[in-house]
Each structure stands twice: as structure tokens, then as C-alpha cells.
A and B are shown apart, each in its own frame.
Chain A
Amino acid sequence: MKAHRKQRLFIVLFIVAGVSIAVSLALFALSENINLFYNPSQIAAGEAPQGQRIRAGGMVVDGSVKRDQQTLEVLFEITDYQASIPISYTGILPDLFREGQGIVALGRINEQGVLIAEEVLAKHDENYMPPEVAEALQKAEAAGKAHFKPTAADSAVVTQEP
């Protein structure tokens, strides 16, 4: 390679490396602010700011959803399997909201430690499967034949059976 081309190549590499380092330092410094939500264990550890609107994300605890008979108020708990936080929400929940589903709630935590949510979003995971497969997995789990969660690898195994 000719000398002037080599020099230009070094300048190009220098630009790319310099920008990458600068951006990664900035992102590292901002990492807490880039996270969309706090986990329940982060909130329990006091990492979330007090008295401000925050987003909390986690799995809806099985059997924790209680609906008010007269109003649209719903009480439920979310967990990251280390800590959990109760949430109260008045309004219409997204279609994907159900027990065991990941959700993100935006709101303030009151004195009782309950997050009063203004907005609840459902978080979808990366797994997709046909309803029959999901049903078969649920049946197998209910029958106690297998102790597995419906993950991608398992659904692939199930679909291979005739």
C-alpha cells in the first residue's frame, strides 16, 4: 500500500476508534438513565429516586392480580424473583397483560410502598409459538411429566413429534 494511502487509512481508523471510545464512555456514564425501567430488587435496594415518577418492570406474580368489583382498579405484584413490588392501576390493561407476563409500569411509589401506575405496558419476550404447541406444553407441565418452562428449544422438540 502506498504511503499516503496508509496515512489516510490510519486517519479513518483513528476517527472510528475515537468516536467509539467517546460514545462508549458517554453511554457508560449515562447507563442508569438509558435503562427504561428499574427492577423490583433495584427499587428495594433504594436505587430508584424517591417520590418521582419512575418505571418499574418485572413479571406479574402468579395469583397476585386482584380486580376491584366496582371500578377499573387492578392490584397486582411484579417480581424479578428476588424482590417484588405491589402495583395499583386504574384503567384498561394491554391485551398481553396476564400473570407470568413481563410488564413495565410508570408511576410514583406512595408511603405504603405501592406503585400507583399511570401507564402499564406489556413487554413481549423473544419466544413465539403456535397456540397448539403452547397448549401441549401447558398440559405436559400440568401432568407433571416434565419440569420445563415453554422455551424455544422445547417448542422445537415438541413440533418435531408427529
Chain B
Amino acid sequence: MKVWFYRLGSPKWFYDIAGRCLPWLAWSALLLIAIGTVWGLVFAPADYQQGNSFRIMYIHVPTAFLAQSCYLMMAVAAVISLVWKMKLCDLVIVAAAPLGAAFTFLALFTGAVWGKPTWGTWWVWDARLTAMLILLFLYFGVIALQHAIQDKVASARATAVLILVGVVNIPIIKYSVEWWNTLHQPPSFKLTEKPAMPSEMWLPLLVMVLGFYCFFAAVLFMRTRNEILDRERRTKWVRELVQKVSSR
């Protein structure tokens, strides 16, 4: 366990493993998203009240899940980075923040597009929507802080503290629809209960969610590998790698 933990901290080891996982992740992401899109947009039945406009949830729900999961992952990485000073975690945070911001933006955008025909408004300042907007600003803050400080170690430490301060927002997003009166509906999926929709509606959604997670992992690995090469460019193994590629 301890050996595994320290090996994971080695950028070279992660670079190799991530490179080997990449094709698998990329292909399963492509396959799952293709299946989920066709299934959800063509074969799933329309909703009895919303008609076809409910189908936007096949993008909205996976992006909203990922926006929060990505932040939680960054928070775990921030703890490891602060306590164990693992350089790899800093690189993962740098790679993940723009992805999380993009997913948060997509969740907000698709929600607004769905809200106009369903609720009658693009935006309303209810607890769920506002908390999600705060998450977007947290991502922007993390990205800005990373670029504001030149020294890599100091920048990583400041970013990790900001991420930990913001992590309190995640349970607020999750439970906002239960704690307060909101326009946003309560969750259709709970771990302990049956989904509030028939299986021919939620199965394609499950496929989409899995596909988006694979896509996120694939892009995160690619970006982290780039960060590793950039940060380790003076080390022996990166120079050898570059020579091998350029001599080919």
C-alpha cells in the first residue's frame, strides 16, 4: 500500500500508466457517448409533460455530475498536496481546473436552455442555480490564482487552500433542493430509492454518465501528461523520451 502510494507520486510512473490507459478510456468514452446519444435522443420515449425538451438532461445531468466530481477530486488532490507535498497532485489540479469550469458552464447553459420552455425563465436566483454559479466562480478563482503566482510551489499551495475553502459548496449544491424551497426539482436519482423515471429513460442516461466520466478521465490524463512533460523537462527520462521521439 505504502509502496503503491509513493510510486503514484512519481511523475514518470504516472506518465507511463496514464499513457497505457488512455486509448481504452478514449475509445470507451467515444463508444458510450455515441450509444447514449442515439439511445437518449432517438429511442427513449418523450416525457408526458415536457415532450422532447426533457432530452437535454442527457447532457445536463452528466455535466452537472462531473462539475461536482471534478471539484471533489481536486479537493482530495489538494489535501494530499498540502500534507504529503506530492508534486503529481499539483499537476492534476492544474490539469483539472479548466475541465471542471467547462463542465460547470455546460451544466448551467443546458439548464438555462431547458428552463426557458419548462419553467418560463432562463435564470432564477434559487439556491441550486446560485450555488452552481458560485462553483463556476470558484473554478475561475482557482485558474486565476494558478496563473497569478509565478513560483510553482507557492502557487500550488495557495491554490490548494482555495480549493479546500470552496469544498463546502459541494454539499450545498447537492442538498440545496432539499434544504430550501427552490425552483429546481429534487433529484430524480437517489442511492436508496428507485429512479423517478422508467428504465427506458434512465438507462441511456446511465450510459451517458459513464461515457462522460471516461471522457473526463481521458482528457484529464492527456492534460496531466502534458503538464508532467512541461514540469519535468529538465529530467533525464523526459530528455530521453524526447530524443527517442525526435529520432524516429
Task: Please tell me if the beta carbons of B183 and A123 are within 8 angstroms of each other in the complex.
Answer: yes
Do residues B188 and A126 form an inter-chain contact, with CB atoms below 8 A? yes
Find chain A residues with CB under 8 A from B179 CB.
31
CB pair A128 B84 closer than 8 Å:
no
Asked whether B194 lies within 8 Å of A128 as measured between CB atoms, the reply is: no
Please, which residues of chain A bring their CB within 8 A of the CB of B117? 94-95
Q: Is the pair A159, B198 in contact by a Cβ cutoff of 8 Å?
A: yes
> Could you tell me how many residues of chain A have their Cβ less than 8 Å away from some Cβ of chain B?
48
Query: Which of A37, A131, A135, A159 meets B46, CB within 8 Å?
Result: A131
26 contacts between A and B (CB under 8 A): A5-B84, A8-B82, A20-B168, A34-B127, A35-B180, A94-B118, A96-B50, A120-B120, A121-B121, A121-B183, A124-B118, A126-B188, A127-B196, A128-B50, A128-B188, A128-B196, A128-B197, A129-B198, A130-B47, A130-B48, A130-B200, A130-B201, A132-B45, A134-B48, A135-B48, A155-B197
A120 surroundings in chain B (CB, below 8 A): 120
Return the chain A residue nearest B187 by Cβ.
Answer: A126
B45 and A155 contacting across the interface, CB-CB below 8 Å: no
A126 near B118 with CB under 8 A, answer no
Using Cβ atoms and an 8 Å threshold, which residues of chain B touch A146?
A: none
In this assembly, does A72 line the interface, its C-beta being within 8 Å of a C-beta of chain B?
A: no
> Which A residue's beta carbon lies closest to that of B205?
A128
Nearest chain B residue, comparing its CB with the CB of A152? B196
Chain B residues near A129 (CB-CB < 8 A)? 47-48, 197-198, 201
| Residues of B contacting A8 in the complex (Cβ-Cβ under 8 angstroms) | 82-83
| Distance (whole angstroms) from the CB of B130 to the closest CB of chain A | 8
A156 at interface (Cβ–Cβ under 8 A)? yes
Name the residue of chain A whose CB is nearest to the CB of B114: A124
The reply to whether the CB of A68 lies closer than 8 angstroms to some CB of chain B is no
Task: Report yes or no: A130 in contact with B45, Cβ–Cβ below 8 A.
Answer: yes
Shortest Cβ distance from B78 into A: residue: A12
How far is A11 from B48 in the complex, measured between Cα atoms in Å?
52
Q: Rank and list the top 9 A-B pairs by shortest CB-CB distance, nearest first.
A: A94-B120, A130-B45, A152-B196, A134-B48, A128-B197, A36-B126, A35-B181, A131-B48, A126-B188
Measured CA separation A159–B215 after assembly (Å)? 32
Q: Closest CB of chain B to A21's CB: distance in Å?
A: 9
Residues of the A chain whose Cβ atoms lie less than 8 Å from the Cβ of B198: 128-130, 133, 155-156, 159
Q: Is B155 an interface residue (CB 8 A)?
A: no
Confirm or deny: B165 has a beta carbon within 8 angstroms of a beta carbon on chain A.
Answer: yes
Whether the Cβ atoms of B168 and A37 lie closer than 8 Å is no
Q: Is the CB of B48 within 8 A of A121?
A: no
A96/B194 in contact, CB under 8 A: no
A57 at the interface (CB under 8 A from B): yes
